[in-house]
Every structure is written in C-alpha cells, then in structure tokens.
Structure 1
C-alpha cells in the first residue's frame, strides 16, 4: 500500500494528492504536523519536510521524497491520464513550469505568506506585515505571468492538462484557502482555476480544514 505523509495546506502535498487521484491510484494518507514531526516521519525523511511517499514494490519497500519526484513516480505507475505528455520539448516546458512554481513561486510568495498566516494562528502574536506585503506583491506578479501564459494556451504548458497545471493550482489553492487571491483581477486565471477545481481529483482538497482558520465562502464553491 502506498502511504503519503502530508500536511493539508502544503502545496506540494496537495499536488501529490491530485496526481494520485488523477491516476486512480490508491493512496493512504497520514497527516503530519510539520512543526512537530514524529519520529516515524523523521526516520523516513532526512529533509524533515513533507511530502514523503512510501511504497512496497517487488524488490522491497521504497521511500520517495519531494513533490515532483513523487508526482512523476505516480505518473509512471499508470498510463491513465499522462501528466507529462507530448514530445521531449513539450515535457521540458512542463518541467520548467513545475520548477518555476515549486521553487521561485514558493520562495517569493509562499515563504512570506503561509508561515505568517499559519504560525500566527498556531503560536499567537501578530503577523509580519512587511513579509505579507512583499509576498502579496510577488503573488500579483506571478498571477500576471499565469494570465500571460493562458492568453496563449488553454493550459499552462499547452492544450493538455499536465503536471504544471496541477502544481500551480495546488499552490494557488493554499493561498485561496487563506483568502489571498483576488480572482476578479485575473479573470483568465480564475476561469482556468475553476476548471481544475471542478475536476474530481481536486474536490477532496476542498474539504480540508485547518483548526483556527476558516476559508472564505468561495473556497469550496465550484462556480465562484
């Protein structure tokens, strides 16, 4: 049985959950506290951060660490709904965008907004308004870039639904839970996100709840 160690409002963990659902692969989910991970989790992940996947294959038990590594592992496990379709150059573009949002977006946006919002609830105190302001400004820039891509393509990397769409939507879904995305300013992005949000693979994420933080009303609305 494949087991995913995850945190519900972690973008990479959400991307993995969507990928396994798209591939119709069974997955046992174990929620961990990223601030106080237990010894079982720490023994699996030297990085000490989710997502972490364990699987039992013919040669024995394996552990896969990291969002893209796990997503590509899932993609190769089943031919259903290829998440890295096309020719080599098309797959290269998918990976480029996965890297953009998995690293640059994560550093410029998530690292400034998510800890301030989540740790304020967890530990009390007041969020760093400078960090939030910088993160929100960077978020607007990235939304402009997403909108520019969608002016040229039906999906982020091309006409097909790909891993790039999944990883980007997973990042935006966490910020949307916290009420940080002004969708009305970016109608093309909103329309694209609405299509992904309506996919059966995405819907379980809309039931996630973080103690002490209530999402905005539109968060679980498929027609927002």
Structure 2
C-alpha cells in the first residue's frame, strides 16, 4: 500500500491528496505532526515538512515535485495541459497559490487561528490575522478576474492550479475565513471543485479542538 504522510490542514498535503484522488490512486493516510521533528519523519524528509509520499519503494517530498511525478507516471486524467503555454500558466498559478497566497493569507489566518494552538506556540497575533483578512480580498479579486475570462483558473480545463487554489481555500473555509459572497464566480468555481469525488476525504477532516464551519462540508453552500 502506498502511504501519504500528511497533516489535515496543510494545504500542500491537500493539494497532493486531491491529485491522488483525481487519478484514483489509493494511499494510506498517516497524520504527521511534522513540527515535533520526529527522528523517523526527518529520515523521510530532512526538511521536516509534509506531505511525504511513499510509492513504488521510494520516498518523495515536496508537494509540487510529487504532483509533477504523479502527472508523469499516471498521465490520465491529465492535470496539466498539453499545450506548452497553457502548461506554463497552470504551473505559474500553482506557484502563486503555494507561495504568494500561502504566505500572505493562509499562514496568517489558518497559521494563527489553528496552528499556534495545535503547536503550542501561544495566542494568535492579531496583526497577522488582520493582514491575512485584508490580503485574501486581493486574492479573491484576482481569482474573479481570471474566472471571468476562463472556465477554470488556468484555462478551459481543470488543472493542478485549481487544486493548489482549492487546497488553500479549503483550509481557510474550515475556519470560515472566506467571504464567498465577494464574487459569485469564485463561489461557483469552488462549488464545482468541492463537489468532485476527489474532495470527499478533505470534507471529512477534523482537527481536535477546532470544529469546522457549519457550511464546510455542505456542497450547496
């Protein structure tokens, strides 16, 4: 059995889980409290980060590298376009959500509201929370701009870019930190991707001490 070491509210773990599920690849999920710096886990990934995938006798780290590996080894269904320009655009947006969105929004909201308590590092920093609440508006506006011109974020087909974005937003939605009324087109996009079978296991996640928002698992939210 293949194994994915993950943490439920890690957006990078969620991105890989979505890719695996979309390609109908079964894995055993092992929850990893990666911040504890367990010796066994550090052997799997010296960077001390999730996700880590064990497949075909190999141990692989880094969510983007894992997704690229899955795309090459299991090309159907495709999660990256065949056209070089569209492939670039999908990769560009994966980078946008994994880097810019994560550091400006998810780390400041989910990181402060959930991970500080889970990791035992104190109380939320209100300055970070305010900055994250402000930044998410800019990102939702940018997503709306893209979706006004395209069916999906990177073009007319669903790609890893959509999974990268949905992974971040689903963590934020767990704590009701997304204003879905800001842009109907973004809400419709999320409803489409949230309704996919690949999303089911994410909607069943629960973090002890934190109840998900009432609408979190509702497909008709």
TM-score of the alignment, normalized to the shorter chain, above 0.5: yes
Give the alignment of 1:36-55 within 5 angstroms: 36-55=36-55
Native 8 Å contact 1:176 1:219 kept in 2: yes
Residue matched to 1:147? 144
Shift of residue 124, structure 1, vs aligned partner: 7.7
Shift of residue 209, structure 1, vs aligned partner:
0.1
Q: 1:121 aligns with which of 117, 122, 133?
A: 117
Secondary structure, aligned partner of 2:34: coil
**C-alpha distance in 2 between matches for 1:63 and 1:92:** 27
Unaligned runs of 5+ in 2: none
What whole-Å deviation, never above 9, does each CA across 1:21-66 have from its counterpart, x for those lacking one?
Answer: 111112121110122142221111111010111222xxxx322211
SS at match of 2:36: coil
* In 1: Cα distance, 2:116 partner to 2:33 partner: 15
How far 1:115 sits from its partner (Å)? 1.9
- Give deviations 1:52-103, integer Å, cap 9, x for gaps: 11222xxxx3222111111111122223210002311110000000001111
Identify the residue that residue 166 of structure 1 maps to in structure 2.
163
TM superposition shift of 1:120: 4.3
- CA separation in 2, counterparts of 1:106 and 1:120? 16
Q: CA deviation at 1:127?
A: 1.5
**Corresponding residue of 2:127:** 130
CA deviation map 1:88-126 (0-9, x unaligned): 111000000000111111111122112211134333853
CA contact (8 A) 2:180 2:187 kept: yes
Q: How many residues align?
A: 220
Cα separation, 1, equivalents of 2:138 and 2:194: 22
Structure 2 match to 1:11: 11
TM-score, length-scaled by structure 1: 0.94
Secondary structure in structure 2 of the residue aligned to 1:53: strand
| Structure 1 gaps, min length 5 | none
Q: Which residue of 2 aligns with 1:219?
A: 216
Contact 2:94 2:165 in 1 (8 A): yes
Contact preservation (8 Å) 2:35, 2:48: no
Distance 2:103 2:211 in 1: 25
Alignment RMSD (CA, Å): 1.3
- Would you say the 8 A contact 1:121–1:213 is kept in 2? no
